[in-house]
Chain A
């Protein structure tokens, strides 16, 4: 499943960068409260995700709305969809 692959990439990249335990990486995990990421980590998260998926996140403001890992996943899926749309139109 593509989503599972993306989920694996997201959780692996975040766990590695922020030294989180694998058992913490569940969809309902809250970014700040459960994972302990702060505002600086949120800025770094953009770079981590861009590096992991090899794309550029245009809508960085939307990341401020993210609360949980499930939100990150949704954000990535939308971004990939937009990237694919742009590639098809080009």
Chain B
């Protein structure tokens, strides 16, 4: 018996899938190669402007990521809301859910270009293009670094007006379900008395899931939620734990996943 086929069941047509992959991978290679070629000129420009190496690298990364998201819009349209909540010069810790490597490019939708990412150890060592760039941008390595050192670096960044971006799940979700949140960035928020802004990402795990190399055309939504003040949880036995749970509840509600 032949069942009627629906567009949802079929997914994107083969032609569209091939076109999307040629387009998205092609632009990724071109944009990355062009950025690599232009990097010396960009750093020279930064020097002339009196920027630090880290600021120059962060500005460059932001523009590169923003450009790439624009280039792939024909196949991966992006819907953004609430990003005005993280304005330049208003330091905060942004907590994002993590489904895909594309999530890192989404940081370019934060209006502030001075973004310092909290990163695990392996990307510094294994990512050919981004590892050295992350070192230049003074991103904070969260594994194998002492808690005091991380706190000091984070405090310095927030004091200088940077936005800290972290993925509290610690790894990309394989099934789109929100994972358990680690306490690290919430501890930083309570220790440094910095607000936490939830950056809710929907759809990136469908477009480019963990472990896949195939772009599946479709929309990505990015919603920046209102900031949470860690001072609200000062009376709790474990203030950063209470903050973590509250932020996670916001994600669960926004992702429509209920509890767990």
Contacts and interface: CB of A to CB of B under 8 A. Distances in A.
- The answer to whether A and B come from one shared complex is yes
Interface of A: 17-21, 36, 38-41, 44, 47-48, 51
B181 interface: yes
A48 B238 contact: yes
19 contacts: A17-B238, A17-B241, A19-B180, A19-B181, A19-B245, A19-B248, A19-B260, A20-B180, A21-B260, A38-B182, A38-B183, A40-B147, A40-B183, A40-B184, A40-B187, A41-B183, A44-B183, A44-B238, A44-B241
Interface of chain A: mostly helix, strand, loop or mixed: helix
B237 interface: yes
A39 B147 CA distance: 10
Interface string B168-197: 000000000000111110010000000000
Interface of B: 147, 180-184, 187, 237-238, 241, 245, 248, 260
Contacts of A39: 147
Contacts of A20: 180
Contacts, number: 31
A17 B241 CA distance: 7
Nearest to B187: A40
Nearest to B181: A19
Contacts of B181: 19
A51 B237 contact: yes
A2 to B, nearest CB: 25
Interface hub of B180, B187, B237, B260 (most chain A Cβ within 10 A): B180
Contacts of B182: 36, 38, 40-41
Nearest to B249: A19
Given A17-B238, A40-B182, 13 more contacts: A19-B181, A19-B248, A19-B260, A36-B180, A38-B182, A38-B183, A40-B184, A41-B183, A44-B183, A44-B241, A47-B237, A47-B238, A51-B237
Q: Which 10 A-B pairs have the closest CB atoms?
A: A40-B183, A44-B238, A51-B237, A47-B238, A47-B237, A36-B180, A19-B180, A17-B241, A44-B241, A38-B182
A39 B260 CA distance: 23
A29 to B, nearest CB: 13
A18 B180 contact: yes
A36 B183 CA distance: 11
A46 to B, nearest CB: 10
A36 B184 CA distance: 13
Nearest to A20: B180
Nearest to A18: B180
A17 B181 CA distance: 11
B84 to A, nearest CB: 30
A18 B182 CA distance: 9
A20 B182 CA distance: 12
Contacts of B238: 17, 44, 47-48
